[in-house]
């Protein structure tokens, strides 16, 4: 027997979706890639949400056997609302994944993590045979860090040490990301803090350099991954 939860059934995307027509077109393009038996990694963000809705409709219409591995609690709840079965990396390896990004440079390197889920997102991208990154023209930059800081998930008690080490790497601004809807900082789904860090230059080794700092769980830098960039029309 399934729960009949009004809280789940009444879920709606919280923020206004910008460029919704363009994003719905690319969501349909992502949904068209689904094959019976697929295990699909489901990224975060509004475009991923729209793609999830399109996939769930196709699964329902064509009675496909598909399972999702979401990157966040939010997307897990939407899977429940849409009737899309979920699984985990304990049980399955994703056949492919779709996700968004905050910035994409000419080398297909990314900044992700405005939603704070970069650890699970990176884990799924690393685990997936194929990764589709859905963006629109506004996300394309000449160099990483042009528009957004680098999100960094940090174990709370490591904060002073991590701050010192990030400054030694050239961080020009470091801020603890504040929460919305609660007092204090945002807490990641892993129980950690998220720092937003600005750098004048982000080198090719920065993802590895930041990750090597004791107390850093993960950063929002994705450098050197095999990614397929899918553009949403404006």
Cα gap 217→154, rounded to integer Å: 6
- Read off the pLDDT of residues 136-173 as tens digits, 9 standing for 90 and up: 888 999 999 999 999 999 999 999 999 999 999 999 99
Q: Find out whether 181 and 202 touch, Cβ atoms under 8 Å.
A: no
Residue 38 gets which letter from DSSP? -
Give the rounded distance of the alpha carbon of 4 from its chain centre: 28
Which percentage of the chain shows pLDDT scores above 70? 98
Cα gap 177→114, rounded to integer Å: 10
Query: Between 93 and 9, whose confidence is greater?
Result: 93
Q: What DSSP assignment string belongs to 149-193?
A: PEEEEE-GGGHHHHHHHHHHTTEEEEEEPBPSSSSSB-B-TTS-E
Q: Does residue 228 sit in helix, strand or coil?
A: strand
Q: Where are the domains positioned within the chain?
A: 3-141+225-232, 150-219
Same fold for the pair 3-141+225-232 and 150-219 = no
- Catalytic residue positions, numbered: 121
Write down the pLDDT at residue 179: 84
- Read off the pLDDT of residues 6-58 as tens digits, 9 standing for 90 and up: 888 888 887 788 778 888 899 999 999 999 999 999 998 888 899 999 999 99
Helix axes 73-82, 46-62, angle to 10 degrees: 30
Specify the CATH class of 3-141+225-232 in words: alpha beta
Instruction: Compute φ and ψ for 39, nearest 5 degrees.
Output: -110, 120
CATH architecture of 150-219: 2-Layer Sandwich (3.30)
């Amino acid at each position: 027997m399934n729960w009949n939860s009004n809280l789940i059934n009444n879920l709606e995307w919280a923020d206004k979706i910008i460029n919704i027509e363009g994003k719905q077109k690319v969501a349909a393009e992502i949904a068209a890639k689904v094959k019976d038996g697929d295990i699909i990694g489901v990224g975060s963000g509004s475009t991923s949400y729209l793609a999830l809705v399109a996939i769930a409709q196709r699964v329902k219409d064509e009675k496909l056997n598909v399972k999702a591995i979401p990157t966040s609690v939010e997307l897990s709840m939407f899977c429940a609302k849409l009737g899309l079965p979920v699984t985990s990396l304990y049980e399955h390896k994703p056949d492919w994944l779709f996700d968004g990004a905050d910035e994409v440079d000419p080398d297909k390197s990314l900044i992700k993590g405005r939603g704070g889920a970069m650890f699970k997102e990176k884990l799924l991208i690393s685990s997936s045979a194929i990764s589709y990154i859905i963006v629109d023209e506004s996300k394309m930059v000449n160099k990483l860090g042009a528009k957004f800081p680098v999100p960094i998930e940090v174990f709370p008690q490591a904060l002073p040490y991590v701050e010192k080490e990030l400054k030694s790497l050239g961080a020009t601004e470091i801020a603890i990301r504040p929460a919305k809807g609660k007092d204090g900082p945002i807490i990641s789904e892993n129980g950690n803090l998220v720092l937003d860090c600005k750098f004048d230059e982000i080198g090719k080794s920065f993802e590895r350099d930041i990750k090597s700092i004791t107390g850093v769980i993960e950063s929002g830098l994705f450098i050197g991954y095999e990614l397929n960039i899918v553009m949403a029309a404006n």
